[in-house]
């Protein structure tokens, strides 16, 4: 039997997977501007993305536009 933490982790992974699928569909159908608009409308966190050279929505640690893993910010 899974504990509460495992159930939450599974739900987060499922949600992130669904969000990633949606972002890829939007990108393929319309382009990066659609992903940016969508990310803003649904309240995704925006962070700097080095490959995109701009601030883009995040899905977990992944850029929702180019799907690369974000590097941790240097302080």
How much is the pLDDT for 34? 97
How much is the pLDDT for 73? 52
Is residue 61 classed as helix, strand or coil in its secondary structure? coil
Asked whether the predicted pLDDT for residue 2 surpasses 70, the reply is: no
* Domain range summary for the chain, segments of one domain joined by +: 4-63
Exposure of 39 in the CB half-sphere (CA atoms within 13 A):
27
How much is the pLDDT for 22? 94
Task: Please write the tens of the pLDDT for every residue from 5-56.
Answer: 777 666 777 888 899 999 999 999 999 999 999 999 999 999 999 999 999 9
Q: Collect all residues with Cβ–Cβ distance below 8 Å to 2 and sequence separation of at least 6.
A: 10
Q: Which of 35, 32, 65, 34 is nearest to 48 (CA)?
A: 65
How much is the pLDDT for 56? 96
Asked whether the predicted pLDDT for residue 58 surpasses 80, the reply is: yes
């Amino acid at each position: 039997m899974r504990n509460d933490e495992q159930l939450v982790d599974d739900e987060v992974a499922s949600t992130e997977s669904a969000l990633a699928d949606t972002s890829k569909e939007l990108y393929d159908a319309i382009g990066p501007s659609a992903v940016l608009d969508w990310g803003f409308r649904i309240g995704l966190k925006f962070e700097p993305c080095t490959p995109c050279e701009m601030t883009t929505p995040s899905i977990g640690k992944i850029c929702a536009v180019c799907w690369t893993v974000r590097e941790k910010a240097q302080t």
